[in-house]
Copies of this chain bind each other. A is one copy, B any other.
Amino acid sequence: MSAAEGRLRGRPPATANGRTVPERLPDAAREVFAEKGFDGTSVQDVVRATEVTKGAVYRCFPSKDDLLHEICLRVLRMQNERLDAVVTTDLPVAERVHAAVVDVVGTTLENLRSTTIFFRPLHRLAEENQRQVRRERGPYRETFRALVVGGQREGVFRDDVGAEPAVDYCFGSVRHLPMGWRSEGGASADEVARAFADLFPADIAGIAAR
């Protein structure tokens, strides 16, 4: 209804709750993929679960794979934004690291099922899509690593251990969370988040801080 965007062209996009198909489809599809796995979900399943017809799906995303790709990018972007928010705080390094870990673990667990789909081997994505995912992943890891290195330079963290393996170690574990290994245990999301955060700086920072 906005008169601002010039002359509207073509049949106007159908909206539900004010969101157009390309906006809501990835979020809706993410749930279905999380539920049944990417390979286990047919496009028909997505259509059924969504208020979107099959034709509309393919109008917005050239393939099922590209739909997954978009979902991945959204999560990655979200994570990047959250990390940036934590990093640019005034808190001391050790606390920023702690907060960052609590944040990833927390949001990962809150969206447990939604994040499951990341465990699809990257190489199943189309070449170009792989590149883009990596491009998006890189900064995340780099930002985190820089934060740790900063702490090491400040002398707050010990530096006899490389920042990189420590970060990988931590995030490997975080990314594995949705897999369900531990879903058998009974800790709350918050408890797990704190446990992770307590463990992480122990490797790197705990000792020097002592």
- Residues of A participating in the B interface, judged by any CB pair closer than 8 Å: 36-37, 39-40, 116, 119-124, 134, 137, 161-162, 164-166, 168-177, 179-182, 184-185, 187, 192, 195-196, 198-199, 202-203, 206-207, 210
Docked-complex contact A37 and B39, CB < 8 angstroms: yes
Kindly list chain B residues whose C-beta atoms are within 8 Å of the C-beta of A124. Answer: 36-37, 40
Q: A134 contacts which of B173, B184, B199, B202 (Cβ < 8 Å)?
A: B184
Docked-complex contact A165 and B179, CB < 8 angstroms: no
- A148 to B: closest C-beta gap in Å: 13
Residue of A121, A171, A180, A195 with most chain B CB atoms under a 10 A cut-off: A121
- A46 to B: closest C-beta gap in Å: 16
Kindly list chain B residues whose C-beta atoms are within 8 Å of the C-beta of A180. Answer: 121-123
